Amino acid sequence: MRYRDDIIFRMRKPVIAGNWKMFKLLQESVDAALQLKPLVANANHCDVVIAPVFTALKTVADRLEGSNIQIAAQDCAIQNDFGAHTGEVAPVMLKDAGSSHVIIGHSERRQFYGETDESVNWKTMATLAAGLTAIVCVGEKLEERDAGNAETVVKTQLEGGLSGLTANDLERIIIAYEPVWAIGTGKTATPEQAQEMHGFIRNCLNESHGNETAENVRVLYGGSVKPDNISTLMSQPDVDGALVGGASLEAESFAKIVNYK
Ligand code: PEP
C-alpha cells in the first residue's frame, strides 16, 4: 500500500502523535479531545494518536469511540502478570482502558525516572504481548551530540530496547527519534539533521532485522515540532511523522500539525 502525500508517494503511513504529558486534568483532557475530533476528522493521510494521562485514558477513549483518533498511554509496567506491583499499570490494563499504543522510553522517563534500555525492552515486549503498538523513544543529549556520539547513543538505545524482538514484532513498533536537546526547548533539529538520524536508524534496523522490516517501520521525529515546521520535516524521506509535546496541548495547533499537507 502506498500513501498519497501531496506529490510524493509514501510507503509508510505517517503517524502524528500528541504527548500530553502531565498537563491536563480529566475534564481538560476530554474537552481537548472533543475539540480535536472534528478538526482532524478528514485526516486520512496519517494515523492520529493522543496520549492523555492514565487517569483520563478510559474516559477520553470512550468519548472518541468511532473517531479516527487513537489513544496512547505514556508509559506502562514491565509485564502483564497481575499481582503485587503497587503503582504499576500493565499494558493489558491499558488496552482494557481503550489504548492502542504505549509510548516507551521517553527521555523524561530516562532522565528522571530511571528508565533504562533494559526496562524499555521489557516494556516493549509486554506492550506487544498485550496486542498494543509500542512507540519506542530514542535520542541523544546535547553533550553526546557535541562529542560526536549521537549515532552511537541512538544505536545502543535501539539495540537494547529492541533486543530479542523478531521482524514480526517490529510490525507493531514505531520508533520516535527525539533529540533530548530539542524537547521542549524550541530548538528543532533541522530537517537535514532529522533525515540524517532517521536514515541511520533505518540502517540499524536493516542490519538487525533486514531490509523489508527496516523499510516498513515508521520513524517519527520529536522535539519542538510546531505547525510552522512540520511540513519541512515531513518532506524528508525517512521522517514518517511526529511525536509532539507542547504543540499538542491545544487542539487547534495539534490539528494544524496533523493537517500539515
Ligand atoms: C515530547 O515530549 O515528546 C516532545 C517532543 O515535546 P516538545 O514537542 O514540546 O518538544
Q: Give residue-wise pLDDT tens across range 68-102.
A: 999 999 999 999 999 999 999 999 999 999 999 99
Domain that holds residue 59: 2-258
| Active-site residue (options: 140, 144, 178, 209) | 178
Spatial CA neighbour of 178 closest among 160, 194, 158? 194
Split into its structural domains, the chain has a count of 1
pLDDT at 216 over 90: yes
Element (H, E) at 155: helix 150-161
Distance 28 CA to ligand 1 centre (A): 19
What integer best gives the mean pLDDT of the chain?
Answer: 95
Mean local confidence (pLDDT), 191-208: 97
Give distance in angstroms: CA of 81 to centre of ligand 1: 31
Whole-model pTM: value is 0.96
Please confirm, yes or no, whether 106 is among the known catalytic residues: yes
Residue 211: Cβ within 10 Å count: 11
- Ligand 1 binding pocket includes 19 (Cβ within 6 Å): yes
pLDDT value at residue 4: 53
3-class secondary structure, 199:
helix
- Which CATH number belongs to the domain containing residue 42 in this structure? 3.20.20.70
Instruction: Provide the pLDDT for residue 186.
Output: 84
User: Mean pLDDT over residues 229-251, rounded?
Assistant: 97
Q: What percent of the chain has pLDDT over 90?
A: 93
Q: Which of 45, 106, 198, 209 is catalytic?
A: 106
For 61-64, the CB contacts below 8 A with 24+ separation are 61/97, 61/98, 61/99, 62/98, 63/30, 63/33, 63/34, 64/33, 64/37
Q: What is the pLDDT of residue 5?
A: 58
Q: How far is the CA of 244 from the centre of ligand 1 (A)?
A: 5
**Cα–Cα distance for residue pair 24/37, rounded to 1 Å:** 17
Residue nearest to atom 4 of ligand 1 (CA): 245
7 pLDDT more than 90: no
Distance CA 78, CA 90 (A): 7
6 versus 225: which is more confidently predicted? 225
Instruction: Give the pLDDT score at 188.
Output: 86
Q: In terms of pLDDT, which residue wins out, 245 or 189? A: 245
Looking up cell 498519497, which residue turns up? Answer: 4
The model's confidence at residue 8, banded by pLDDT at 50, 70 and 90, is low
Per-residue pLDDT tens for 28-76?
A: 999 999 999 999 999 999 999 999 999 999 999 999 999 999 999 999 9
